[in-house]
Amino acid sequence: MIRLKRYRTPFVYLIIVVLLLVSIRLTGFERPTLSQGEAFIRNLLAPLQSGVMVIGQKANNFLSQIANYAEISDENERLAEEVARLTAENNLLTEYKQENARLRKLLGLQDLIGTQFSLTAARVTARDLENLHQTLIINKGSEDGIRKDMPVINEQGLIGRIINVTDRTSEVLLILDREGAVGAMVQQTRVPGVVEGLGPGSDQLQMIHINVDAPIRVNQVIITSGYGGIFPKGLRIGYVKEIIPEANGLMKRAVIQPFVDFDRLEEILVVTGVVDS
């Protein structure tokens, strides 16, 4: 109870002071001068009024700073969202430009060899380059006219052949696979051979069954020979990187670097037929 009275007394004094100030303020307009008592009280309370004004100004400034901070924070958040949106749009635009460039190359290939082959464009939807066989899945199937053993190419060269078909998808066996053998020949000298993959983990091929005396050199281009009935003649495969004599002394083989970048395949063409000339 004593503690309550201790805090109540200053509060009562403060109320009295405020009432006096209000009274002086209201009655001061009606009289030409203040009474001595009013003047004394005003002078006595002047420092308090000044302190209250300073505190009020500081409080007002503080509240204004809080409001400004909140406004700036909201603006920064809005700008950050705008930057994120523009960055995403720019990345998407870059991807569209790159896709457009790839599709233009495929279109150019269609224009170039469209008089020789019937072609169907497709997208790569999955790949399996680590297991026993190196294959891709594309988004075209029997409903699009795709059949087993059709060759698959892009603007760089030969990719492989179709080995399995569903209504809307197909599986492509890459020439990197050991079972993806291709009848081939040296473009410059017409030396024949067979190109096959070196197996999982390798991005190179080898051309085998080459006579030891056959004219073949490093950097010469290897193309499909047309033998075997699957791959038409003239499709680009790669170029000779190295020539290695066989141990029997009768044959040699060539290490071939494919023209196709198999790690970056996204769009391909399926050769659905050969146009009769």
Final residue before a domain boundary, out of 79, 113, 147: 113
Same domain, 74 and 203: no
Based on the domain organization, do 218 and 103 belong to the same domain? no
Q: What is the dihedral of CA 132, 133, 134, 137, to 10 degrees?
A: -120
Residue 1 belongs to some domain of the structure: no
The per-residue pLDDT for 171 is 97
Residues 85 and 19 in one domain: yes
- How many domains, the chain? 2
User: Does residue 2 belong to any structural domain of this protein?
Assistant: no
Does residue 125 share a domain with residue 109? Answer: no
C-alpha count within 13 angstroms, C-beta hemisphere, residue 30: 5
Based on the domain organization, do 163 and 235 belong to the same domain?
yes
Per-residue pLDDT of the chain (277 residues; tens, 9 = 90+): 545 455 556 556 656 665 665 565 555 545 555 555 555 655 655 565 565 566 667 666 766 777 677 777 777 778 777 777 667 666 666 655 666 666 666 666 655 565 677 889 999 999 876 666 799 999 999 999 999 999 999 988 999 999 999 999 999 999 999 999 999 999 999 999 999 999 888 899 999 999 999 999 999 999 999 988 899 999 999 999 999 999 988 999 999 999 999 998 988 999 998 776 5
pTM: 0.64
Q: Are 238 and 205 in contact (CB under 8 A)?
A: yes
Residue 234 included in any domain = yes
Whether 9 is in a domain gets the answer no
Judge if 142 and 253 occupy the same domain.
Answer: yes
Same domain, 215 and 109: no
- The answer as to whether 79 is a domain residue is yes
Do 99 and 133 belong to one domain?
Answer: no
pLDDT recorded at residue 4: 46
User: 153 and 176 share a domain?
Assistant: yes
Same domain, 242 and 177: yes
End residue of a domain, out of 113, 129, 152: 113
Q: Are residues 142 and 258 in the same domain?
A: yes
My answer on whether 106 and 149 are in the same domain is: no
What CATH number does the domain containing 236 carry?
A: 2.40.10.350
- The tokens for 214 are 């056959």
3-state helix, strand, coil in the chain (%, to 5): 40, 30, 30
Which of 92, 113, 134 is the endpoint of a domain? 113
- Mind giving me the DSSP string for 64-110? HHHHHHHHHHHHHHHHHHHHHHHHHHHHHHHHHHHHHHHHHHHHHHH
4 lies in some domain: no
Residue 18 lies in a domain: yes
What domain range is 83 assigned to? 14-26+35-113
Distance CA 104, CA 241 (A): 30
Asked if residue 7 is part of any domain, the answer here is no
